[in-house]
Amino acid sequence: MTAAEFIGTDSPRPSRGACQVTVVGAGPAGVMLGAVLARFGIQVQIHDERPDQTTVGRADGLQPKTIETLQMLRLGNDLLDTGVKVFDICMWRSEKTSAGQPDLHRVGRQVHYPASAVDVLHPFILLCHQGMVEGMFVDDMRQSGVQVQRGSKFDTFSYIGTPGSPGPITASFIQSDGALATVQTEYLVGCDGARSRVRQGIPDTYAQGNPHDSYWGVLDGELETDFPDIWSKTVVYSEEHGSVLIIPRERNLTRFYIEVKQQAQSIDEAFVMDQARKVMAPYRLEWLSVEWLGNYRVTQRVAARFSDAKEDMTQSPRVFIAGDAAHTHSPKAAQGMNTSMHDAWNLAWKLNLAVRGLAKENILLGTYESERKKIAHDLIDFDYEHANSIANGDAQALAENFRTNIGFISGVGVEYEENILNRAAHGQVPSGGAQPGRNLPPAKVTRYIDDNPVDLQLDIPVLGQFRVLVLAPDVVGAASFLENLSNSVLMPSSLISKLSKAARTSYVAASRPTRPKDSYYRPERCIPLSDLFTFGLITSTDKSEFELASLPRLLSQSRWTVYLDNVPSLDTRGQTCTEKWVGVLDEKQVAIVNVRPDGYVGSIMKFNTAEETAGQTAAQHLDEYYGGFLQAS
By C-beta, is 147 or 252 nearer to its own copies? Answer: 252
By C-beta, is 81 or 312 nearer to its own copies? Answer: 81
Rounded least distance, CB 20 to its own copies, Å: 30
Contact 478, 609 (CB under 8 A): yes
Rounded least distance, CB 569 to its own copies, Å: 12
In sequence order, the 6+-apart residues with CB closer than 8 A to the CB of 486 are 552, 553, 554, 555, 615
By C-beta, is 400 or 542 nearer to its own copies? Answer: 542
Secondary structure, 3-state, 358-396:
CECHHHHHHHHHHHHHHHHHHHHHHHHHHHHHHHCCCHH
List, in sequence order, every residue forming a beta bridge with 444; answer none if it has no partner. 455
- 183: Cα separation from own chain's centroid: 28
Residue among 65, 209, 73 at smallest CA distance from 140: 73
Residue among 77, 137, 8, 74 at smallest CA distance from 526: 74
By C-beta, is 212 or 517 nearer to its own copies? Answer: 517
Contact 150, 50 (CB under 8 A): yes
In this structure, which amino acid lies at residue 152?
A: S
CA dihedral 174, 175, 180, 184 (to 10 degrees): -90
DSSP 293-336: EEEEEEE-EEES-SBS--TTS-S---EEE-GGGTEE--STTS-H
Rounded least distance, CB 374 to its own copies, Å: 34
CA distance 336 to 342: 10
Number of H helices, E strands in the chain: 16, 27
Half-sphere exposure of 480 (CA within 13 A, CB side): 10
Determine which helix (DSSP H) or strand (DSSP E) holds 98, and give its type and residue range.
none
By C-beta, is 101 or 110 nearer to its own copies? Answer: 110
Residue spans of beta strands (DSSP E) within 226-284 = 233-238, 242-248, 253-260
By C-beta, is 69 or 185 nearer to its own copies? Answer: 69
Residue among 599, 470, 596 at smallest CA distance from 540: 470
CA distance 182 to 184: 7
Rounded least distance, CB 506 to its own copies, Å: 25
By C-beta, is 92 or 154 nearer to its own copies? Answer: 92
Half-sphere exposure of 623 (CA within 13 A, CB side): 19
In this structure, which amino acid lies at residue 490?
A: L
CA distance 304 to 327: 10
* Residues at the site binding its own copies, with contacts judged by CB under 8 A: 74, 77, 81-88, 109, 111, 124, 226, 228, 231-232, 248, 250-252, 449-453, 517, 519-522, 543-544, 547-549, 570
DSSP 173-212: EEETTS-EEEEEEEEEEE---TT-HHHHTSTT--EES---
By C-beta, is 449 or 584 nearer to its own copies? Answer: 449
Secondary structure, 3-state, 309-320:
CCCCCCCCCCEE
By C-beta, is 108 or 163 nearer to its own copies? Answer: 108
Angle at 323 between CA 317 and CA 328, to 5 degrees: 120
By C-beta, is 568 or 628 nearer to its own copies? Answer: 568
Rounded least distance, CB 332 to its own copies, Å: 20
Contact 20, 186 (CB under 8 A): yes
By C-beta, is 111 or 491 nearer to its own copies? Answer: 111
By C-beta, is 75 or 191 nearer to its own copies? Answer: 75
By C-beta, is 194 or 454 nearer to its own copies? Answer: 454
Rounded least distance, CB 520 to its own copies, Å: 4
Rounded least distance, CB 566 to its own copies, Å: 12
By C-beta, is 212 or 251 nearer to its own copies? Answer: 251
